[in-house]
Structure 1
């Protein structure tokens, strides 16, 4: 623990008159993040290290539960009690940037010897950009690809993992073994953010985006997903399962393919009793455009901070630690200039290589300040199509109409 000079001298019995001029001025930085709520994480660990490395700065770190972070920060900003630095889930960042709540650090980054050299992937960097200006830096990232059971592929005579969504559906049919309780594929199409997380990349690779969701390619893939569910090549449970539970059916050998992310790798090494691999997310057409989901958190400095220089030093410190992120916390750095250390496990190293390749194509959710409303329009359409309430085209057209209203078109 760091003590003010005054406290040290008082403890030594030195009179108050000699305490008027401390050796240096200390400032307090308040940092908020979700890390530390249920387990140690990047923000609480690195904040402590930054505090210990800088005698002129005292860090007050606060762990805020994920479901409370956005509203708690909005209230704090409105009442003048905002932290100096906050770490948001990347789709929430644009809301704060667009409202003037985040500090523009464009020039600071450009002139920083540390941050100007960091080679961030395009997607994570876009998530902290608003109106052409930089309001934060990526903290860490993740994405999705396709896990596949090599043993079941060999048994079905399939030599290569699917490259297109048509191949994905065709392989799912061949891999389904109802008698053995094995589905061809699993994914998450639940009515929530995880559903949008898995479906938005299909919209993006079909030439669309958060503001243009009713593309022909997106409707085609939605039709394929419905076909897989209707024919039993994917369980109806994909309509309600989150990514963790959905992938659990793959880990147990009850699904031959799973759309999921790098957070699953360690669990798979421990649980899977079969040979497995990871491949890039399929494209809509052979050799077509790629995309993938972008997860992870971003760092930002609140615009109300009284200590912008010290807060920016903290961001530089955090960036300088990115090389240790994966080894210490299991999170993927959002940077192309950082190589992951070899783990000694062939499955893990091969899988992570694919996910780092996938990050080259990952795009943010948005960015837009009304992302939550846009996301709901997308997953509502997905659910309506997959449950047969509407055709895929009509469901996406309805979502587009809702999104146009949100965007003021």
Structure 2
């Protein structure tokens, strides 16, 4: 029987982060309520009140992940979130170097309601006072406490306080392809058959279309295994070391179920599609 248990992933959605400011609503309302010449005290108050309402209804997010395959789908994802929550959701995703851009933004005083970080960044940002203490909110939420193992909350508790929540568990990475190369080879990414055979055909066309003998459509750092995840997911396998229902640890990539994927990698290698 296949082992399907998914290893819990430390989330990355962290509440309000600002290294130098206290929060978005205060700074936004202050900026928005600067009076024009001739404004009365009453109009100033009304302007400030309106700014507060607008700030309360906006959720500003910095994310390392997209809500779809491209920028257009990312916009649709934000719109869907806005409609579902009744809030105005704004998602900012750097084109590259997410960690570097995030730290530059925070160091410059930019504030966000939610950010996406790794476990290694989490404690560092807590030490800098960049994250909001949400312990009381977590403990007061039946949804959070009733659906997450207490042991997982313990993993992200620092000195008795919680500064983060968990993102939805990630089952697998999506396949990443260079759209410029796809277009040169006459491939429409929307029509790619989402199977290993379908991607094999894509790689063959990319290789055949390239004049560079050192070009390989697929490369991966096998020692890290992270880049293998989209392909292992074809067999429902999770990266890393996980626990089965009896409490024993095992590595899904080393299980018998992974054999078809390893054989597929060997096929790519033999045909010059995998960077040696």
Relative to the length of structure 2, the TM-score reads 0.42
